[in-house]
Structure formats: structure tokens, C-alpha cells
Amino acid sequence: MPPQKIRRANAGLVLIDLQERLLPAICGSARLVQNVSCLLNGAKVLGLPIFVTEQHPKGLGSTVQQVAQLIPDYAPFHKLAFSACGAEGFGKALKEKDLKQVVLCGIEAHVCVTQTCLDLLKEGLTVFVVADAISSRTEQNHQIGLERMRDAGAVIVSTEMILFELLETAGTEEFKQILALVK
């Protein structure tokens, strides 16, 4: 597969299951919340659509408030399936935005993020997995999830990498706003 750069016009951000009762068990949770928050704020600056899922919210709670408050028109897709693609209306919502590229962040890297990634790749989308904005309960599972997604064809990136790639150029008001987010 030829190398691909992400393009704003074709891209959306998907936040998977960053929920109240699951987050305390996640490795590096403070860093995760910080990087996800940076991505969400960057997506707003750049005008990307944002999609949020919650795995069994009755059992795992809602999206962490610190993160949920950053999401315009917060309306999570609830699911029992591990893949976000199993959430009612999720696939339709992506198609309505005519997305070709998806940026994934959230938890857990080796379960819900990986299964979502595999399903999106199967649908023909290019998937960019933000390595420092996903995690699992253990570092080993985080790493194995990343490796599996890369082997399947996902592009592994960092928070700063994806934001600057979406930005494309310096010297704009958007650049100043993104720069402030990553400092």
C-alpha cells in the first residue's frame, strides 16, 4: 500500500470508550486523557467531525466528563459489540460525512480499538491509530494492539504527528491554535 497522508476534507476522529469506570484501570490514564483532549481540541480547530462510542454505559459509565465537555454536540453511540462498527447508527454516521480516513483514539487498544480498526479497514477506510492516545490495562496489551493494527494496514501516528499532518502548513491562525495545544 502506498504511503498516505491524512487530508482534512476526508477525515473524522473516533473516540472509543473513554469511560468513567474503565479509565482508572488503564495504563498511563493521565497521559491518555491529556492526549485525547489535545486531539479533540485540535479536531475542533480543524473542523473534523467527531464520533464517540461508549461500551455498555450502564456498567462502565459515561465518557469521562473532562473529555465529554470538549465534544461539540456530544451524542455517543452506545454499544455492546466491541467494535464501534457494531453500534447502531455508527456506520451510517460515518458514511453521511463521506469519510475516507478515520483517526482512532480511546480504549482498550487490544480489544475495542483493534476490532474497530479491523472493521473500518475492511470497509475500505484508511485508519490512523494515535498510539499515544490509546491504551489498555497493561502496556503489553497496548503494544500488541498497535502491532496487530499496523500488520492489518493501519497507519500508526502520534498526537502531534496527526495534528500537524492535518494542518499541512504553518503561518495560519489554525497553526497558532494547534501549536498552543501541543506546547
Give residue limits of the domains in the chain: 8-182
Enter the pTM of the model.
0.95
Residue 156 gets which letter from DSSP?
E
Tell me the three cell numbers of residue 3. Answer: 504511503
| In the chain, beta strands by DSSP E | 11-16, 50-55, 77-79, 101-107, 126-135, 155-157
Residue indicated by cell numbers 502496556: 139
Residue from 105, 112, 117, 132 carrying the catalytic annotation: 112
Per the annotation, the verdict on 183 as an active-site residue is: no
Residue from 17, 38, 85, 132 carrying the catalytic annotation: 17
Per the annotation, the verdict on 100 as an active-site residue is: no
Residue from 79, 85, 105, 119 carrying the catalytic annotation: 79
Tell me the three cell numbers of residue 23. Answer: 479509565
Decide: helix, strand or coil at residue 39: helix
41/43 Cα distance (integer angstroms): 5
Query: pLDDT 10s per residue in the chain (183 long)?
Result: 566 889 999 999 999 999 999 999 999 999 999 999 999 999 999 999 999 999 998 999 999 999 999 998 899 999 999 999 999 999 999 999 999 999 999 999 999 999 999 999 999 999 999 999 999 999 999 999 999 999 999 999 999 999 999 999 999 999 999 999 998
- Class assignment of domain 8-182? alpha beta
